[in-house]
Chain A
Amino acid sequence: MKKFLSLLMAAVMLLSVSSIVATAEEAPIKISIYYSDNSTLPYREDWRTISYLEERFNVDLVFEPIPMTDYGTKVTNVLNNQGDDTPDVILGTSTAGGNAALALNGGAYAVNTNPDWTPNFNARVAEFGLEESVNMLKLGDGNLYYLPQLFDVPFYDGGLILRQDYLEAKGFEAPKTFDDLYVILKAYKEDYPDSIPLTSIVNIYVLQRMTMPAFGISVGRSTSTGTRVLSWDYENQEYFAGALSENYKEYIRFFSKLYKEGLLDPEFTQDDAAATRKLATGLSMAVYGYYDQIGGWEGASEIEGMDLNMYPSLAGPNGAHHQPKSSVGNGIMFPAKTMQRADFEQVVRKIDEVFFSEEGAKVWCLGVEGETYTEVDGKVVFSDDIMAHENQEGIYKYMQNAYGCGCDGTQVVWYNAREMTKYDENYSRINAEVAAIGDVIQYVPATPAFDDEAAEEAALLQTALADAFFVWDDAFMRGTKDIDADWAEYEQDLKSKGIDDFVALYNEYNKYK
């Protein structure tokens, strides 16, 4: 018995030592990665998130930061040509637009081919209940060509931002409807006749995409359907001609009134500096923009006591709705060339582990426990280094800049509650208020599963319709055309350009039917 036991122990020891030696000798898998680089918070080679995950998962991640502005061009080029510079993995991409045809023609690996290679991704999808949303991303051949970003609850990160100090000084309540907003803007205009109270960042389409859903539509340059002229009927789950709807009429009536009365900024396109100047100098007191911009606008202002705050979505004829958002975003794609690697399965498994595992996802969001944060009674407490920047650029920006946490390309699993730990209490409160209203942020309808011929027909119709619509929309907003008097001519124009066929085509390939 003694002899048997010593033999058993020796065998166990031998096995343990050999496995340790084998592990120690296993070289890390080298994976080259395309990353969409944001110039405001640029990629840094010394980001701790990356070095930690490399050590933790025994992988060598070679990042290739490509400027965000040209990322789409570069990705399309490598998917198309699969040349010497093709990376093993592309972050922050999807099969939207031209990439769909490239994927269908064998440009990328279909990630649903081997679901057992991506156990962490599958687990997160199940955890968030996003099976249907992920399914909707499949192309016409029934394959999914990328591992999308996953959001448990969409963020309310931008919307109506107003001068709270003005509201308090005048005794106004926080606006709840568009009529409330009108009263506030009107009062500001009366107090400051040279002002243009309401402006928008970048382009009027930002304001439109944030406000139209409250009127039951989403049309224009940046719309949830991507069609420019159609909208989504959430009740019947089908497309309708949003640009020719009564909802659109009502929307235009409201905003053209603002324009006519000098309450809406006539500069429909402007850069950041122009919008900042208007808000900082008090020329404007309200804007449709993003929460993180508030600090910059307040910091640039010399107006004493200026206090901007973001408000939940205003209620319109269709209720209080913000721009629709998807729970699945751009994600991780494997170009076809990567499939030629002998260790391709290991590459996919490693990527799944690094990006979608619970541990990996947490590191991409919060950094390394014990270094960037600690958890005390389940509550995240950030390090002194991070907290020292809370009142400067803010925790989230500093963490991305210094540690690589929260980058849109690398973080693919987004827990709303975990994200909120990085923002101030006010932001969490606003998000909670929005959540309490319920269904403010509706889903983005899935792109129809067009075949090549239908896709081409849709593209042709869309180009002609969108070009005509942009001209009419601008004219209606500015009042050079009257929404009632010129409606028949406008309707005839869009009908002659095939809007009815366009609706029929989209509904024919509607994935929800």
Chain B
Amino acid sequence: MATKLEKVPVVVIGMGWAGGIVSAELTKAGINVVGLERGKDRTTADYTMVHDELRYQHRTELMQDLSKETITYRNTMEGKALPMRYYGTFIVGDGVGGAGTHWNGQTYRFLPYDFEIRSKTVERYGEGKIPDWMTLQDWGITYDEMEPYYDKFEKMAGISGEEVPELWGPRKNPYPTGPLVKTPLMKTFEKAAKSLGYKPFVIPAANLSENYTNPDGISRGACQYCAYCENFGCEYGAKGDPAVTVIPVAKQTGKLDLRTHANVLEITSSGGKATGVIYVDMLTGERFEQPADVVVVASYVFNNTRLLLNSNLGTPYNPKTGKGTIGKNYCYQVTGGTTQLFFEDRQFNLYGGAGALGIEIAEWMGDNFDHSDVNFIHGAGIRSTQYGDRPIAVNRVPKGTPNWGAEFKKQSIKYANANFPVKTQGASMPHRENYLDLDPEFKDAWGYPLLRMTYEYTDNDREMVKFMAQKTREIGEKIGADIIETAEEQGNFSVNKDTNTHNTGGVIMGVDRETSALNTYLQMWEVENVFVVGASAFPHNSCFNPTGTLGALSYRAAEGIQQYIKNGGGLLV
């Protein structure tokens, strides 16, 4: 039996970037918000002992407890999905700050091409350029409409970057802080890229390049390049994190009722509208029903989709008919085509770094080049980064070296400070049969079905990787190294071997209720008082880390929710 609580105007599920931004904006506008977070509360005081690679990275200190809930996974619709029993590629955040605590901090805007991707592709290349299987859709919003929201997110988080006008959408304002430092590694890439005619830029970062006070009055110190970003929290608060930005702001209004260890199991509904949520206290097992006028679903991509499916909200996507929307257009990030460099007589201070420290070129991104003669659309950023190479995680050795024994030890030590890769970060196009639904067999600790992922890299991805591998090779050869190795092909997807947590889609935004779950305020077409905020709203994933766009969309959703409350209901679009 659940204890029924008093009704509130807004309940927000999840206290990461999406939930934090929405909570800050609504409470600043005088609206009372209950924030439910299944993990614990966190501040910088939690990170006194944060430089612990084993605990934070390999024992996934800041991540969701998989003993309670995980996903199941299969490569194709014919296979049987099996649970991800421990972490491999995905690191799903938990606790106040969510993934916004353990991220690296790379904060991009998507390209104008992204938001109108179907129209612009057809316009330039014709309908025939888009294969039948590719469920490519416009987002229902343009870059110019997104610009003010990007600006807001960048100012709040204090994004450090340099302006590169060509190849990007126009900015109304410069980055709030200048770019991070350019290290010898980055200068090496820069020199080679420039000599090939590219215009390299320093990656935009939420790791502050200088001390910064944001428009909410939050002051944070500059990044110290300690190299503990991804998987870790920042003890300085130098890394933009909801726990040191938007959440303290929301708390300070006195209008945020933040409840930690509160895991939402279901959204309740009646007559086509949500009525509230049921949640369980993770420490005591006690259940509560929290009625609300508006429900904001702001947890991770996976759980956003799962909560709607487990609550019978919206129409589940059917890959056979293409009908329905919840679970549609799950996309990932394609990062194949790396060229690895090993040096005999050069060493870099690779123990230092920052999560967003790096340099990149934009020439092969999006539709920045002519795709007439290639069998793919979109593209990739080509980049070299300096996150800081931690010794358990990073032991790069030349091909042919065994992964244990005398030779492994010798080579891994020899090259520990004398190697770096030229990498790609590529876009991921939607496939009709790449989707999310409920697993028919496996359950979470409370008996609710787990989310089932069906995903494999597409022909578009594989063609793109072959193309980008040539480009990384070219830059690698221009840099010059004693050993140059290129991974020329994209292998199959593996939930325990791939390399990032850039999951997108499942509850996508768009122009109509037949093809998308949400309008451009992230309001559900089918359930008007539910807003689903996060990268789950992306109809495809671009060649960037998703957080900048997730943040911008969160500001837009917050605006929509305020308007919805003011209007007293109804669809906003």
Do A and B originate from a single complex? no
- A contacts, CB < 8 Å to B: none
